[in-house]
């Protein structure tokens, strides 16, 4: 029995040593994602991987599945592995304190995608608020400042939290819009979007009132579209943010009104390139935000948009 344990310990130690030798050959970029299979997260990760490949770095992704505890554990894991740098995807700086402390102790820079600046974070991009502004303003204008709105929110992620703040600020000027808010889960956002839409539609029958559904990103709104189609409701406008392939298809087919396309591939690519600058600058680096503007896509503009950005539909 003791011999077996010793052999296992030796094997584990050998594996640990091999992993560190590999990391020494190729600097490791650790990515902690809030939902690694969500379309916008996937695009960001692909952009990061492309830039890392050009720099001779390797990328490892941990899916925190919407859990701040798992995000902290993921960052701590990368710190223990001696990562070259760490990217936090969407979790707000205020919820990853334990991870940031571990990275700081190990001398590893952390950047965020949509998580904001603060603490020891070196840079951020993909901030939520700017992406929401053009879509919410369009929605209010098309509702003519009155009617019923179902807002599908998510407060664990900084991006959605900031987008909700933007929506609230704009809607303050339009008190005749009655808002129903429901928070979706990760995972489970498609199903939640459909369920909340079903309940909301029951109390908002088709009539003269302007109706709209807003998702703090595309996927909950796409879930709601399933309910609209099942009930034969074509009187409700639907707005999303991020511009994933499903959203663009729904706009082409007339099921979604508009989305704000987020060039998350470029955001991921640019952030890894910036990490190279951060590492070279060392203590001389000044934290900064480096945002990529959103592009609003509607039924009138989707065809031209897809000509200009053919990869967005893939």
Query: Do 102 and 188 belong to one domain?
Result: no
Q: Give the model's pLDDT for residue 6.
A: 37
Give how far the C-alpha of residue 308 lies from the chain's centroid of Cα atoms, to the nearest Å.
23
Q: Give the model's pLDDT for residue 208.
A: 82
pLDDT at 199 over 70: yes
Q: Give the model's pLDDT for residue 20.
A: 40
Of 182, 137, 191, residue with least CA distance to 160: 182
275-295 pLDDT, tens digit each:
999 999 999 999 999 999 899
Position with higher pLDDT, 17 vs 76: 76
Asked, for residue 300, whether it belongs to a domain, the answer is no
Asked, for residue 313, whether it belongs to a domain, the answer is no
Domain harbouring 169, CATH code = 3.40.50.2300
Average pLDDT value for residue range 162-166: 97
**Which of 245, 261, 277 finishes a domain?**
261
Average pLDDT value for residue range 204-219: 96
pLDDT at 301 over 50: yes
Query: Do 192 and 226 belong to one domain?
Result: yes
Query: Do 121 and 158 belong to one domain?
Result: no
Largest Cα separation within the chain, whole Å, is 79
pTM: 0.86
How many angstroms separate the CA atoms of 45 and 50, rounded? 9
Q: Give the model's pLDDT for residue 284.
A: 96
Query: Do 73 and 43 belong to one domain?
Result: yes
Query: Do 140 and 233 belong to one domain?
Result: yes
Asked, for residue 306, whether it belongs to a domain, the answer is no
Asked, for residue 308, whether it belongs to a domain, the answer is no
Q: Which domain holds residue 96?
A: 2-125+264-291
Asked, for residue 30, whether it belongs to a domain, the answer is yes
Asked, for residue 307, whether it belongs to a domain, the answer is no
pLDDT at 2 over 70: no
Burial class (CB in 10 A: 0-12, 13-18, 19+), 217: buried
Three-state SS for 109? coil
121-125: strand order across its sheet: 58-63, 28-33, 85-89, 110-113, 121-125, 288-289
State the chain's mean pLDDT as an integer.
92
How many angstroms separate the CA atoms of 32 and 61, rounded? 6
Query: Do 269 and 203 belong to one domain?
Result: no
Peptide bond into 187 cis (omega under 30): yes
Query: Do 84 and 171 belong to one domain?
Result: no
19-29 pLDDT, tens digit each:
343 445 899 99
> How many domains does the structure of the chain reveal?
2
Asked, for residue 69, whether it belongs to a domain, the answer is yes
Query: Do 133 and 257 belong to one domain?
Result: yes
Query: Do 140 and 74 belong to one domain?
Result: no
Beta-bridge partner residues of 28: 58
pLDDT at 17 over 60: no
Three-state SS for 47? helix
Asked, for residue 208, whether it belongs to a domain, the answer is yes
pLDDT at 142 over 90: yes
Query: Do 79 and 139 belong to one domain?
Result: no
Query: Do the Cβ atoms of 134 and 294 come closer than 8 Å?
Result: yes
Three-state SS for 77? helix
Query: Do 174 and 209 belong to one domain?
Result: yes
How many angstroms separate the CA atoms of 87 and 75, rounded? 9
How many angstroms separate the CA atoms of 309 and 312, rounded? 6
pLDDT at 1 over 50: no
Q: Give the model's pLDDT for residue 25.
A: 82
Query: Do 220 and 282 belong to one domain?
Result: no
């Amino acid at each position: 029995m003791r011999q077996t344990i010793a052999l296992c310990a030796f094997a584990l130690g050998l594996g640990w040593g091999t992993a560190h030798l590999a990391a020494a050959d190729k600097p490791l970029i650790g990515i902690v994602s809030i939902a690694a299979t969500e379309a916008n997260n996937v695009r960001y990760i692909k952009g990061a991987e492309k830039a890392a490949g050009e720099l001779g770095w390797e990328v490892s992704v941990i899916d925190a599945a919407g859990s701040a505890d798992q995000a902290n554990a993921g960052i701590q894991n990368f710190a223990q592995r001696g990562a070259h740098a760490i990217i936090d995807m969407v979790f707000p700086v205020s919820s990853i304190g334990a991870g940031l402390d571990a990275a700081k102790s190990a001398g590893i820079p952390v950047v965020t995608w949509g998580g904001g600046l603060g603490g020891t974070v070196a840079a951020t991009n993909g901030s939520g608020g700017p992406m929401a502004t053009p879509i919410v303003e369009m929605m209010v204008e098309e509702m003519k400042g009155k009617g019923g709105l179902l807002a599908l929110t998510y407060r664990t992620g900084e991006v959605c939290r900031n987008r909700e703040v933007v929506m609230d600020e704009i809607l303050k000027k339009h008190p005749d819009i009655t808002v129903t808010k429901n928070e979706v889960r990760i995972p489970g956002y498609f199903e939640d979007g459909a369920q909340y839409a079903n309940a909301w539609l029951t109390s908002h029958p088709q009539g003269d009132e302007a109706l709209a559904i807003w998702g703090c990103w595309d996927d909950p709104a796409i879930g709601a579209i399933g309910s609209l189609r099942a009930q034969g409701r074509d009187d409700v406008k639907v707005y999303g943010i991020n511009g994933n392939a499903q959203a663009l298809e729904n706009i082409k087919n007339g099921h979604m009104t508009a989305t704000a396309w987020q060039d998350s591939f470029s955001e991921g690519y640019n952030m890894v390139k910036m990490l190279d600058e951060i590492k070279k600058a060392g203590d001389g680096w000044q934290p900064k935000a480096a945002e990529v503007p959103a592009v609003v896509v509607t039924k009138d503009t989707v065809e031209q948009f897809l000509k200009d950005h053919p990869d967005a539909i893939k």
